Amino acid sequence: MQVKIFLPNEILMDQRVTKITAEAEHGSFCLLPHHVDCLAILVPGIVSLMTEQGDEYFVAVDEGIAVKCGSEVRISTRNAVQGTDLNSLKQQVEQQFRQIDEQERLTRSALAQLEASLARYFTRL
């Protein structure tokens, strides 16, 4: 199977695999090459991919959609981080969450400054 993982601004992965395991709203599922075509709503979790060479890759995904059509599997998600082992993946996800938290903090600070400036402007009127 050919798996492609799409993020909003890039293709994270485009690789041949023999097995995909992921988590959907109603539990975990596994896709093999001859499975019937399907669509699944993904929940935040780990997608496990087994390559033809027997290597296993892990991708931490946010909410998303997985579509299997013939020999192609397409996964679309807002955020994803890939790794070859779960420990390094955990560290990468934690780092990404820290960056997102910092960006959100800066955004909230800028919004508070804008609101204060707007309030001062109206009090002068």
Q: Residue 73: its pLDDT value, please?
A: 97
Write down the architecture of domain 1-84 according to CATH.
Sandwich (2.60)
26 with 41: CB under 8 angstroms?
no
Write down the residue that tokens 């508070």 correspond to: 112
pTM, 2 dp: 0.74
Taking the domains of the chain in order of start, what are their residue ranges?
1-84, 85-125
Strand, helix or coil for residue 42: strand
Q: pLDDT tens digits, residue range 45-68?
A: 899 999 999 999 999 998 899 999
Measure the CA–CA gap between 42 and 61, rounded to whole angstroms.
8
Q: Residue 76: its pLDDT value, please?
A: 96
Write down the residue that tokens 């993946």 correspond to: 89
Side-chain-facing half-sphere of 18: CA atoms under 13 Å: 7
82 with 7: CB under 8 angstroms?
no
Q: pLDDT tens digits, residue range 71-86?
A: 999 999 988 888 878 8
Q: pLDDT tens digits, residue range 6-47?
A: 999 999 999 999 999 999 988 999 999 999 999 999 998 899
